[in-house]
Amino acid sequence: MIKYIKKIFQIKTDILFVRMATIIGHCGVVYSLFIFNSFNFLLGLLSAFIVAGFVDVGYHRFYSHRSFKASKLFEILTVICALPAAIGSPIGWSGLHRYHHKHSDTKEDPHSPNNLSLIEMLTLEYNYSKFERTTFLIKDFLKDKWHKILHVYYFDLVFLLYGFILIIDVNAFIIICCYPVVYNYWTYIVSNYFEHINFPFYEQPYKTNDNSINSILLNWGTLGYTGLHNNHHANPGSWRFDTGSSWWEFDSGRWILTLFSKLKLVSLK
């Protein structure tokens, strides 16, 4: 269905559908403030953290940077568990992220604060032409038929999931879909905007060719999901971001991957 909508309206990227999911998610979270009890609220946060964990270790560290080896079961779990976040297929997300690293904080960076205002970042108002320049960075995906099919039908699956859970129960829809998409949206803003400016109490322990920073406020404020951006940009191929450059570093993804390694889902370098 989505591919026909894109063809009819000549939509070149999936950003429109990311925006739609983001708006739906924020409406759901705002509505939950009036109807949720404490238990449902905690379930929503737990759901958000679980989805964010799979986005971090699956989409980011594995798909984008191939920083460890993973089983097919891990890949399937990543796609399923990250689906509520509606961030795009692994091909689309990884291609854009690899392009960002290749051109970090230059004129070619698709979401650098040097090129976008905060309002443009918040509305996901990217230079869409840059999406068409990432094909040469995803050749590893193009060999995989499963990923190519998933890329075409990704947002069909997202909105099918949304509709199915919404029909079953509104509260479940808000917990499973809305909280994760909102949490991942804001951590995405943190990573790609606030971790590339002189944020309060920032540190730059490593010299890189960009403006990436570490921040105790962002690191602890997101429970270790972000805040170690300079560490990551200094060594993007590493599966862990806590390098010991500061006493306060907390990398939640490291501990998730350590658990998955013990469960034989991944093999860490």
Give tens-digit pLDDT for 136-150. 888 899 889 999 999
DSSP 178: I
Say how far apart CA 255 and CA 56 lie, in whole Å: 12
**DSSP calls for 204-261:** --S--SS---EEHHHHHHTTTSSSBHHHHHHSTT-S----SSSTT---HHHHHHHHHH
Find the mean pLDDT for residues 46-72: 97
**Contact indicator for 17, 158 with CB cutoff of 8 Å:** yes
**Contact indicator for 208, 229 with CB cutoff of 8 Å:** no
Residue 154, helix vs strand vs coil: helix
Say how far apart CA 137 and CA 127 lie, in whole Å: 18
Residue found under tokens 């400016």: 197
Angle at 148 between CA 84 and CA 51, to 5 degrees: 20
Query: pLDDT tens digit string along 184-219?
Result: 999 999 999 999 999 999 999 999 999 999 999 999
What's this model's pTM, rounded to 2 decimal places? 0.93
- E strand or H helix that includes residue 262: helix 252-262
Question: What is the pLDDT at residue 2?
Answer: 72
Judged against a pLDDT cut of 70, whether residue 251 lies above it is answered with yes
Paired tokens of 130: 């840059």
The helix-helix angle for 179-192 and 38-54 (nearest 10°) equals: 50
Instruction: Give the burial class of 263: count Cβ atoms within 10 A of its Cβ; 0-12 exposed, 13-18 middle, 19 or more buried.
Output: exposed
Say how far apart CA 86 and CA 51 lie, in whole Å: 10
Percent residues over pLDDT 70 in the chain? 94
